[in-house]
Amino acid sequence: MQLAGTNVGTQEAVSEGVSVEGLTVKFRGTPLIEGISNLFEPNKVTAIVGPTGCGKTTLLRSINRMHDHVAGMQVSGKVVVEGVNVYGADVNVREVRRRVGMLFQRPNPFPRSIAENVGLAPRAHGLANRGNVRDLVQEQLTTVGLWDAVSSRLHGSPFGLSGGQQQLLCLARTLALSPDVILLDEPTSALDPDTTDHIEQLMKKLSERMTVLIVTHNLAQASRISDNVLFLMKGNVVEATSARTFFHDPADERSRAYVSGRIG
Amino acid sequence: MILVRRRAGGPPTGPARVARTRSHELSTGDRVLQWVSGVAATIPLAGLLFITIILVVWAIPAIIYSGFTVFTSDKFFIGSFYNPNFSSVNGIVAPYGASYGALTFIVGTLTSSLIALVLAVPISVGGVLMLSEWIPRRLEGPLSTFLELLAGIPSVVFGFWGLTVFGPFLGAHIFPALSHLGVILPFFKGSWAYNGQGLLTASLVLTLMIIPIIASTTRQLVKRVPVLASEGAMALGMTKYEMVRVVTIPYVRTGIIASALLGWGRALGETIAVLLIIGMANNPPVNIYGTTSTLASTIAADLDSAFSDGTGMAVRAMAMLGLLLLIMSLITNLTGRLVVRRISSEALPVGRGV
């Protein structure tokens, strides 16, 4: 079972989103998240919130199988992306990660040129060739609003850019693979308010053509950009609902306490 | 994020400054420590200066005697001590027929060490990347330890093994095959000594000797590549090979160059192993298998007989060879530092500037 590829630039809206079924992740036998089930709706921004250590990032990283590389991590249950269980027996992990992009807590550009940062992965995946990679680079850098700032130094080091610009570059790098799902792990926690605002706008816009999952500690941010909220505590789902309900009329007492700042 | 770095040589902070300004209040123990550390800090610098000055002073007459022929002539002969006549050049008197052209040794030193370097760098770097990325973790420890144990083998043992086992093996089985490759790669053409003594055998043994130096440094560097950077490549669905190429190698490149130059320095100065294996011929190698000598091995082999030169010039010629070797080592060292400084100015930290 292999996921079909999509063409760069001709993306259609995704249809099925991400569905997590009975997902348990253990580290050396200790459960980090326990039997989580949830549907992350397509073309929506879902914020995953909860106190430190509740398993937000663990959940996020199971969706693109980042736990594969950490010794001692055991994952059980299903994660279905666009109809395919990414933990299925004959799944192509490379293709899963092509379709599920990720942005990290801190910018982590490759120690290569700015253009290569965006162009290398599409080249590796066969989504671009020597002839059209430059157009792809320009297109993605324009999408994230970085083109004007870097067009004159495409072959320079990304480490000369500001932190916010580096994070935008990492976003362009991820978008260059035309993902259906994008995972954001506190992507703005280290950034200035302007870039944060810029990235939040981008998230809203990107959700028109992909499923967006964002882990955040910042409730104000969650309320600004999310359509849905998944609230976790101690590795379990407390409440999964629309953002409006979560912030204004949560069902669970613990959600109310968390939203009002009584627990953090 | 603001990193607070204490700069070496910067002004001492709080308590240290107080202690320093009121030195009359120091206890005896503190004074002793001050003296001991002061002396300890001076010794290496003084040592380098002292050795350089002595070498220069000793070498000067030989340099005057030879002039530029040091670099252009491969005729190195310490003269016939029992001839009643003497050779006199530029007012310097040396045994009859003495000639101190060092070209043979310069060529021997550079070729043997460069071949070793060219072979050792890819083997070390490839091996380390293999160990860190592909070999199961439980095998990594023992294999790395084994690699580093290679560094502990005394060079005379390497020399002995090269002379008695490795050289004859190469001469009997490998060189015949290599020389057939001469059809495609002309530098493999030529004949070799039956026991394998010569340039290529010495270079191969030197390769083994500098692999641990380059590999252990590279291993430390690879371990320090930020996880966040590697995860960035993995999250894009890159393979291990692509990740290594895009992230790991750019991160460790500077360090590899530095450690390669360290290894080169070792190969330049290696004495006893080379002396036993390279054949100690007083001429440049006729081909890649050819016997020759290096600066270090010649000093070790000839210094004893040089002392029986009544004019003292032979010892001075040896000092001149030593000076050449010292200059070569300094040049590789300084070049290395320059390269490293230039490359590391393109800083590579992840998540910086945030």
The pLDDT of residue B351 is 40
Q: What is the pLDDT of residues B167-204, one digit of tens each?
A: 999 999 999 999 988 888 888 888 888 899 999 999 99
The structure tokens listed for B59 are 């070498």
CB within 8 Å of B348: residues ≥ 6 apart = A111, A159, B250, B251
What percentage of chain A has pLDDT greater than the value 90? Answer: 62
The pLDDT of residue B4 is 41
Find where tokens 């976003």 sit: A171
CA B157/CA B180 separation, integer angstroms:
31
DSSP label of B152: G
Q: Which residues of A touch B350 (CB under 8 A)?
A: 106-109
Sheet with A18-27: strands ordered across: A30-40, A18-27, A73-81, A84-85
CB of B235 closer than 8 Å to CB of A64: yes
Interface test with B, best of A67, A95, A98, A108 (most B CBs within 10 A): A108
pLDDT at B232 over 60: yes
> Within its chain, how far is the Cα of B214 from the centroid?
11
CA A113/CA B297 separation, integer angstroms:
46
Q: How does residue B345 score in pLDDT terms, banded at 50, 70 and 90?
A: low
CB of B162 closer than 8 Å to CB of B262: no
Find where tokens 């320059």 sit: B338
Q: Tell me if A244 is assigned to some domain.
A: yes
Q: Which residues of A touch B233 (CB under 8 A)?
A: 110
Alpha helices per DSSP H over A46-132? 56-63, 93-99, 114-124
Q: What are phi and psi of A83, to 5 degrees?
A: 85, 0
pLDDT at B13 over 70: no
More confident residue, A83 or B211: B211
Most confident among B23-32, B320-329, B344-353 (mean pLDDT):
B320-329
DSSP label of A185: E
The pLDDT of residue B333 is 84
More confident residue, A224 or B254: A224
pLDDT at A130 over 50: yes
Q: Tell me if A101 is assigned to some domain.
A: yes
Q: How does residue A264 score in pLDDT terms, banded at 50, 70 and 90?
A: low
CA A118/CA A140 separation, integer angstroms:
8
CA B132/CA B138 separation, integer angstroms:
11
Considering only residues 4 to 33 of chain A, which have any Cβ-Cβ distance to chain B shorter than 8 Å? Answer: none
What percentage of chain B has pLDDT greater than the value 90? Answer: 53
CB of B250 closer than 8 Å to CB of A112: yes
Q: What is the pLDDT of residues B57-94, one digit of tens each?
A: 999 999 999 999 999 999 999 888 888 888 888 888 88
Stretch B32-49: mean pLDDT: 91
- Domain ranges in chain B are 111-295
Say how many domains are in chain A. Answer: 1
Other beta carbons within 10 angstroms of residue A96's beta carbon come to 22
Nearest to A121 among B238, B250, B251 (CB): B238
Put simply, the answer to whether B229 touches A110 (Cβ < 8 Å) is yes
CB within 8 Å of B168: residues ≥ 6 apart = B194, B195, B196
Stretch A238-250: mean pLDDT: 90
Q: What is the pLDDT of residues B129-171, one digit of tens each?
A: 888 888 877 888 888 888 778 888 999 999 999 999 999 999 9
Q: What is the pLDDT of residues B100-116, one digit of tens each?
A: 999 999 999 999 999 99
Put simply, the answer to whether A112 touches B246 (Cβ < 8 Å) is yes
Q: Tell me if A259 is assigned to some domain.
A: no
Map residue B311 onto helix, strand or coil. Answer: coil
Q: Of A112-116, B220-224, B323-327, which range is least confident?
A: B220-224
Task: Tell me the CATH class for B111-295.
Answer: mainly alpha
Q: What is the CATH number of the domain that holds A113?
A: 3.40.50.300
Q: How does residue B344 score in pLDDT terms, banded at 50, 70 and 90?
A: low
The pLDDT of residue A4 is 44
Stretch B286-315: mean pLDDT: 93
CA A168/CA A162 separation, integer angstroms:
10
Stretch A152-162: mean pLDDT: 90
DSSP label of A68: G
CA B72/CA A159 separation, integer angstroms:
48
Q: Which residues of B touch A116 (CB under 8 A)?
A: 246
* CB neighbour class for B267 (10 Å; exposed up to 12, middle 13-18, buried from 19): buried
Put simply, the answer to whether B247 touches A110 (Cβ < 8 Å) is yes
Helix%, strand%, coil% for chain B, nearest 5: 70, 5, 25
What residues make up the domain containing A53? 18-249
CB of B251 closer than 8 Å to CB of B322: no
The pLDDT of residue B24 is 65
Interface test with B, best of A110, A155, A168 (most B CBs within 10 A): A110
* CB neighbour class for A208 (10 Å; exposed up to 12, middle 13-18, buried from 19): exposed
Q: What is the pLDDT of residues A11-25, one digit of tens each?
A: 455 568 899 999 999
Q: Degrees (nearest 5) of the Cα angle A15, A207, A18?
A: 45
Of all helices (H) and strands (E), which one includes residue A103? strand A100-103
Q: Which amino acid is at B309?
A: D
